[in-house]
Amino acid sequence: MMAFDVDLFVIGGGSGGVRAARMAAATGAKVALAEDSRLGGTCVIRGCVPKKLMVFASAFREMPTEARAYGWDIPDGSFDWPAFRAKLHAELDRLEAVYRRLLDGSGVRIYDARARLSDAHTVTLSSGETVSARHILVATGGRPERPDVPNAALGLVSDDIFTLQALPKSILIVGGGFIACEMACILAGLGVKVTQFYRGAQILRGFDDEARGLIAEAMKAQGIELHLGTNIVEMAEAAAMAEDGSTMGAGVESAVELLPHSGNRGCPVWVKATNGMECTFDSVLFATGRSPNTEGLGLDDLGVKLGRRGEIVVDSYSQTAVPSIYAIGDVTNRVNLTPVAIREGMAFVRTVFDGEPTEVDHDLIPSAVFTQPELGTVGLTEEAAREQEPIEVYCTSFRPMRTAFAGSEARVLMKLIVSQATRRVLGCHIVAPEAGEMIQLAAIAVKMGATKEDFDRTVAVHPTMAEELVTMRTPTRKA
């Protein structure tokens, strides 16, 4: 039998790769891992963690007004981005160090280098070193895309937001997915004038129509200028446009003064939209999708099959067309969520190192969109369920006690999709503050196959927003 340097070589130090490496090492396997950026990957360094901390920061903007309605004498304050940014990056450094300690403590050898597959069992590192492995796991994640627009390099992508030296006075966000909408709410909460273009008819495509409609209205109420059915046609440096004597000097609407750019990309940006609108923004942020990180890995040469978007094609056990090579996480473009990548990594270890073939369960995965208010969801949308079978819809929208008392018109939504035949709850959708926290608990019941009558038998916790999930007795509609 051929001898290998290691039993497992993991390419990628994100949440999925690190969990798989540690679990495999716990079985007694000899494990190595390569990461050419920072340990922690997208979630810890460039995604979930810094984003959620920014969500927390942005939510304080409304706190003084609400507190005064409750009798507290609290003046409006101002947001100090440099102070927050310094603390944010200190926290990311701390978390990265935790990941490194966990790997070291598990006996995983770490290579701070880029890795490429030379053959089905060999990895070549950017340092020139080669390592042979019985099994190779690709967990390289994904990266934000820039659209095919001239001068797109003038725009930021989501990775750039966390490293801005200063917040822009105004920003155009292009896109309508969860990253675009989350960033719009965050930046608006931090005092940035936000405009958002989305080429579709409504933001958050793929989520429940009623829920995303409520979020769109809430975003507009926050002052976000949302333009649907709109995209960028042209973009250029604003200063260059003015020097050329173009329409910039002829009364073009300007979102900012032409001051030195306060972000990471040169000067303010002039933009022309498909609706004829022309504006200048301090920054432009593209949130138009993500691509799997498969370029330069040598996968094509080995016979590893790639999909239309460059994703690694795997079976239900995360195995590629090359038996010794597996892949998990966003690089497979299955369900691009950190907890899913972790589950896939755990299933891989059970399959390969524990001898317990374990398929990954991608059914009924809860998720949250951290807009303001948040969207929590699990299961089928009303639209998808209606196409599948006859359903009942239980839905209520109301002004929650806390903010209503303070004079806010903000509304929340609680919605259950129920099978007429089996009475099972097929989907649950919540639009409310802390909806992510609520949907985690509701997802347990939905995953277990709870019926509407199971929800009805549960006594409400009063007074709460979530009590509406167990007090809705009459269907809003049937389909």
Phi/psi at 176 (5° precision): -135, 10
182 known member of a binding site? yes
Distance from C-alpha of 402 to C-alpha of 412, rounded to nearest angstrom:
12
96 known member of a binding site? no
105 known member of a binding site? no
Phi/psi at 348 (5° precision): -60, -45
Q: Amino acid identity, residue 248?
A: M
281 known member of a binding site? no
**56: its two tokens:** 């927390």
Distance from C-alpha of 58 to C-alpha of 52, rounded to nearest angstrom:
10
417 known member of a binding site? no
- Work out the number of other CB atoms within 10 angstroms of the CB of residue 48: 17
Q: Where are the alpha helices (DSSP H) in 150-204?
A: 158-161, 178-189
According to DSSP, the residues that pair with 378 across neighbouring strands are: 428
17 known member of a binding site? no
179 known member of a binding site? yes
- The catalytically annotated residue of 135, 362, 429, 462 is 462
Cβ(366)–Cβ(443) below 8 Å: yes
181 known member of a binding site? yes
Which residues, 6 or more positions from 199, have their beta carbon under 8 angstroms from its beta carbon?
176, 229, 230, 231, 274
Q: Is 429 a catalytic residue?
A: no
H/E segment holding residue 171: strand 170-174
- Nearest partner of 187 among 58, 49, 53, 47, judged by Cα: 58
According to DSSP, the residues that pair with 283 across neighbouring strands are: 171
52 known member of a binding site? yes
Distance from C-alpha of 394 to C-alpha of 385, rounded to nearest angstrom:
13
For residues 3-30, one letter each, b for 16 or more C-beta atoms within 10 angstroms of the residue's C-beta and e for the rest, the string is ebbbbbbbbbbbbbbbbbbbbbbeeebb
**134: its two tokens:** 């019985």
Q: What residue numbers does the annotated binding site for FAD cover?
A: 52, 330
Kindly list the catalytic residues.
Answer: 462
Which residue positions form the known binding site for NAD(+)? 175-182, 289
Please state the residue numbers annotated as binding site: 52, 175-182, 289, 330
